[in-house]
Structure 1
Amino acid sequence: MSVGKIPFLQAVNGSTVMLPCTYASCIGIQDLYFNWQFNDNGTMQKVCDSLKVNEGVEPHVDIYRERVEFIGKNINNNVSILLWNITFEDGGQYTCFGRNPKEKGRNGSAIFHLIVVDELRVVDNRLTILIASVVGGAIASIMFFIWMKTFVIFVLSKLEERKKECLVSSSGIDNTENGLSGSKADSKPTPKKK
C-alpha cells in the first residue's frame, strides 16, 4: 500500500480533500481486503472497507463515517477516498490497509496525515530569493574572474611566443647579413693564392 511521495496534507476547514492510496502486487490480486482507519486519540475507527475479488471488478465499499466517498476505481490499483466538508475533528492520522491472500496473506499499510487549519499561510520567500540571488551573483562573479584569468594568461602566452619567434628570426638575419662568426658568410672557403 502506498499513499504517495508526500504522506501528509494541510487543508482548510470546510474544504474537500482526497486521501490517496494505491496497492501493488507482482502476482495480481484475488480477494484483496482493504480498509481505511482513522486514529481517534489512540482508538482506531474504521472509515471504510471492502473485498476486491479481482482486478477487473469494481468493489462494493462499506462506509462507516459521514462525508466519506470511495473514489478508487480499478484505475492504477487505486483505493483512495474523498472527505467532504472537513472539520477540525477530521484532522489526524489515517491508515490505508490491505491484505492479499494470493500473496500468502501478506499485509500492507500506509499512513497519511491530514492537518486541518483555519487558513493556509502564505509563505514569504523574499529572503530565500535574496539569498539565492546573492549566491548566484557570487558564483557568476567567480566564474567570470576565472574566465578572465584564463583569457589573460592565454593572450600573454601568445604574445610571449611571438616575441620569441621575432627574436629568433631577427638574430638569424643579423648573423647572416653582418658576417659574424658562425654565420653563413664565414662558411665559404677562402681562395688559394698561387
Structure 2
Amino acid sequence: MEVQWVGVNPPRLGPPHQAISVIFSILLGMWPSQALEMSVGKTTHMEAVNGSTVMLPCTYASCIGIKNLYFNWQFNDNGTMQKVCDSVIASEGVVPQVKIYRERVEFVGMNDNNNISILLWNITFEDGGEYTCFGRNPKEKFKNHSAVFTLVVVDELKVVDNTVATIIASAVGGAIALLMGFMLLKNFTLFVLSKLEEKNKECLVTSSGIDNTENGLSGSKADSKPTPKKK
C-alpha cells in the first residue's frame, strides 16, 4: 500500500547515522543533569562548643566521571559569600593542591572516596553560620552543584532531658509486662479448668459403674450367678 502525502512535502529522514547521532546528542544533553552531586551527609546541622575543633563533611559523586573538577568551600558572612578554600581535581583518585583563604582551616578530604571535607580549628562564635560545598564538572558543560552545612557555635552543649522519654518507656514496658502476665494467668486458668473438667468426667463414669453394681443391673456381679436347675 502506497502512502500519499497531500498538501505537504514528505519528511526527509536522512541517513540512519544522522538520526542516531541526533538521538545520542539528546541523551547526552539530558544525562548530565544528575551526573554530579555534592553531599554533606544526612545531618546538615551541627552544634559545637566554642574553642573546639570540628569537621565539615562533603563528598561528591558522578556517574559519568570527572575531569578537572573544580570545588570550593564558601562561608556565608551576613549575606556575603567568602571563599574558604578551593582547588581542581584533575581526575579520580588524584590528591588536589588546595588553596586556603581563611585562618584555622585545614583540608582533610585528600580526595579519598571522593572526600573533600575540611577541618575548622579552635572555632569561635564568628565561625558559626552556613558553609557551602560547591562543585563544577567540565564534563557536564560546567553545571554547578552545591550542598549547605550549618554550624552553630555555643558556650556549652545542652543536656537533653530524657525524663519524659523515660516515663513513656516505663509506662509502655509496664503495660507490656501487665499484658503478658494477664495472658499467662489466662492460659493457666484455662489449663486448670480443663483438668478439673476431665476429673469430673472420670468421677461420673466411676459413680455410674458403682450404681449399676449395687442395683443388680445387667453387667453387674448379681447377674453373673447362674440360675439353679430344678430337680
In the superposition, the TM-score normalised over structure 2's length comes to: 0.70
Q: Which residue of 2 aligns with 1:54?
A: 91
Equivalent residue in structure 2 for 1:82, among 109, 113, 119: 119
2:138 is aligned, of 87, 101, 107, to: 101
The verdict on how the C-alpha distance between 1:52 and 1:130 changes in structure 2, with shifts beyond 3 A counting, is same
Per-residue deviation, 1:44: 1.9
Given residue 61 of structure 2, which amino acid in structure 1 is its aligned partner? A
2:60 & 2:78 partners in 1: Cα distance? Answer: 27
Q: How many residues align?
A: 190
Within a 5 Å distance, the mapping from 1:16-31 to structure 2 comes to: 16-31=53-68
Aligned partner of 2:73 among 36, 39, 57: 36
Equivalent of 1:12, from 49, 52, 75? Answer: 49
Give the whole-Å Cα distance in 2 for the aligned partners of 1:153 and 1:74: 68
Residue of structure 2 equivalent to 1:149: 186
User: Could you list the per-position Cα deviations for residues 107-153 of structure 1 after superposition, in whole angstroms to 9, with x for gaps in the alignment?
Assistant: 43221110001122223334432442233223212221222122212
Distance change >3 Å, CA 168–CA 34, structure 1 → 2:
farther
Task: Specify every segment of 5 or more residues in structure 2 that has no aligned partner in the other structure, as ranges.
Answer: 1-37
In 1, Cα distance between the equivalents of 2:124 and 2:70?
Answer: 28
Please list every run of 5 or more consecutive structure 1 residues that lacks an aligned counterpart in the other structure. none
CA distance in 2 between counterparts of 1:17 and 1:44 reads 20
Task: Please state if 1:124 is matched with 2:166.
Answer: no
Whole-angstrom CA distance in 2 between matches of 1:81 and 1:88: 18
- Which residue identity does 1:54 align to in structure 2? S
Deviations 1:147-187 (A, max 9, x none): 2122212221232233224424553565477454xx546xx
CA distance in 2, matches of 1:163, 1:26: 79
Using the TM superposition, name which of 58-67 and 163-172 deviates more.
163-172
- Higher Cα radius of gyration: 2
CA drift at 1:56: 2.0
Q: Percent identity?
A: 74
Structure 1 length normalisation: TM-score?
0.81
Counterpart of 1:114 (choices 151, 154, 175) is 151
Letter in 2 for 1:41: N
Q: What is the deviation of 1:106? A: 5.0
- Change over 3 Å in CA distance of 1:178–1:100 after alignment to 2: farther
Distance in 2 (alpha carbons) for counterparts of 1:59 and 1:142: 62
Q: Per chain length, whose mean CA-contact separation is higher, i.e. which structure has more relative contact order (CA < 8 Å, sep 6+)? A: 1
